[in-house]
Amino acid sequence: MSSATRIKSDTKPKVLFRGLLLYFLALPLLPAVFASLLSRDPIEAVARAAGFLLIVTAATLIRKGIRLDNEARKRRLRRRASTIQYRMIGAGLVTAGVFVVAWLGLGGRYSLIESILYAGATLLGCYLYYDFDPARKDPEIAAVGITTEEIIELLDEAEGRLEKIEHSSRQIKNVEFRDRLRRIVKDARGILDTIENDPVDARRARKFLKVYLDGAQQVTEGYARTHTTGETHALEDNFRRVLTTIETVIAEQQTKLKENNLSDLDVNIEVLQMQLEKEGVT
């Protein structure tokens, strides 16, 4: 099974342009509101103001729905985008906004039937261009004692720790340490891919993903802070030994995942924790 595509930490998130068109659609209504007030037509002014607020709110909700769905698609194990149908609600609001403006906000230019037709065309356009939020029906992975949502949260948490390790490694001047940390992050992401592709061991690997990667993050951040205040050979040697332990445990974890055997992983985690305290690089 192919590995899931993961966004690189040094890649800037793409700007979400979809949905911006609705904001531009609403903009002309603002000066139109003031024009209605100047002409002393309160009903028309209220209709235009209501249309503006409805369309702007709709644009915000639709963009939020799109953003959540994009987030949900990042992994092969898809989380529920949201329990709230943001795009559907947004489509309903923009439809209502167009109806109000067409019927009451344009000086009686359109009849009730024509206004309903315009509103219907707007709803259809929203559906065709933005789609509505899909109903998620993915089954929970009950067989491994952990739900799909919990697995994704676990993987996202671990990915966040790896990104912090990468950030701290860029502050370290020692080329050897930067290279080793780069390999550690790469191998750890390989473990995340393995769990994502075959989540049967996700529950048993939870302590590894939480405790172990948290320890690796702490030691890296600690060394990145400390070495700038006056690097010593003793500190370098301590950090080098810790990196060796981290590399060893990751290699063992990869083997255990392939063999579906995590029974003695906790021992390795406790050894790492004791070593972090002993070396004093955090």
17 versus 83: the higher-pLDDT residue is 17
Give residue 269's pLDDT: 54
Tell me the per-residue pLDDT of 263-273, one tens digit each, with 9 for 90 and over.
Answer: 545 545 555 65
pTM of full prediction above 0.75:
no
The amino acid sitting at 156 is D
DSSP 200: G
Asked whether 166 and 13 are in contact (CB, 8 A), the reply is no
Q: Which residue has the higher pLDDT, 132 or 282?
A: 132
260: pLDDT confidence band, cut at 50, 70 and 90? Answer: low
Q: How far does CA 179 lie from the centroid of its chain?
A: 27
57-70 as b/e, with b when 16 or more CB fall inside 10 Å? bbbbbbbbbbbbbe
* CA–CA separation, 65 and 76 (whole Å): 19
**Percentage of residues of the chain with pLDDT beyond 70:** 71
Tell whether the model's pLDDT for residue 72 goes beyond 90: no
Specify the pLDDT at position 5.
42
Question: What does the domain layout of the chain look like in residue ranges?
Answer: 20-130, 142-279
- With beta carbons less than 8 A apart as the criterion, state whether 194 and 257 touch: yes
Three-state DSSP class for residue 79? coil
Tens of pLDDT, residues 194-239: 777 777 666 667 777 777 788 888 888 888 887 765 556 777 888 8
Residue 92 and residue 54: Cα distance in Å, rounded?
A: 9
CA distances from 194 to 106, 184, 206, 218, 262 (A): 60, 15, 13, 24, 14
Percent of the chain with pLDDT over 90: 19
pLDDT in tens, 130-164: 887 665 544 445 445 666 777 777 888 888 899 99
Q: Give 191 or 50, the one with higher predicted confidence.
A: 50
- Alpha-carbon distances, residue 169 vs 182, 224, 225, 232 (angstroms): 8, 7, 10, 18
In total, the chain counts a number of residues equal to 282
Give residue-wise pLDDT tens across range 29-64: 888 888 888 888 888 999 999 999 999 999 999 888
- Residue 187 burial (CB count, 10 A): 15
